[in-house]
């Protein structure tokens, strides 16, 4: 069988082989590395994460000195708990008010459960997860 393409005559055997099919996986959360079956699942996941990180307009402004003091305490607890030889996924749990947690870890909150009041933050690079239980 022959056919003409733009004035050139080609045999079926002379066809250019098809390009390899490349699968691009755009259905993985870049923060928590959770994979989804569809882009819709990833979109829903991102919307939920955005809602976790919203700070209500009715919330009073927390003074910056208080936020900085809690940040220092958190760093101290993490260093004390983990040490220098721990590698891989590590979990550090601590209790403090939800409003303060949201202020300190805004944009990193990645999980919330109503039943226990637990909030989780996911950090990549040094692979640290911080988990908080509400009072």
pLDDT in tens, the chain (135 residues): 444 344 444 455 556 555 555 445 578 887 778 888 888 888 888 888 888 877 777 777 888 898 899 889 888 887 777 776 666 667 777 777 888 888 888 777 888 777 887 888 777 654 444 444 444
Give residue 24's pLDDT: 52
Q: Find, among 105, 103, 81, the residue nearest to 93 by Cα.
A: 81
Cα gap 93→105, rounded to integer Å: 14
At residue 15, the pLDDT reads 60
Phi-psi region of 87 (alpha: psi -120 to 50; beta: other; left: phi over 0): beta
Long-range Cβ pairs for the range 17-21 (8 Å, 24+): none
Please tell me the predicted confidence (pLDDT) of residue 118: 80
Cβ–Cβ < 8 Å for 82, 75 = no
Is the distance from CB of 112 to CB of 52 less than 8 angstroms? yes
- pLDDT at residue 13, rounded to an integer: 56
**DSSP assignment letter at 6:** T
Looking at residue 76, its pLDDT comes to 86
Buried b (16+ CB within 10 A) or exposed e, 59-75: eeebeeeeeeebeeebe
The confidence score (pLDDT) of residue 129 equals: 45
The answer to whether 119 and 101 are in contact (CB under 8 A) is yes
Cα(120)–Cα(42) distance, rounded to whole angstroms? Answer: 18
The pLDDT, as a whole number, for residue 121 is: 79
């Amino acid at each position: 069988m022959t056919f003409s393409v733009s004035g050139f005559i080609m045999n079926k055997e002379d066809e250019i082989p098809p390009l390899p099919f490349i699968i691009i996986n755009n259905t993985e959360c870049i923060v928590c590395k959770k994979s989804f079956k569809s882009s819709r699942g990833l979109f829903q996941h991102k919307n939920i994460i955005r809602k976790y990180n919203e700070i209500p307009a009715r919330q009073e402004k927390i003074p910056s000195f208080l936020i900085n003091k809690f940040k220092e305490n958190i760093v101290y607890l993490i260093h004390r708990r983990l040490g220098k030889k721990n590698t891989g996924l590590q979990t550090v749990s601590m209790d403090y008010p939800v409003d303060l947690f949201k202020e300190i870890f805004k944009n990193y909150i990645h999980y919330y459960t109503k039943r226990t009041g637990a909030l989780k933050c996911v950090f990549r690079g040094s692979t640290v997860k911080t988990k908080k239980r509400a009072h």
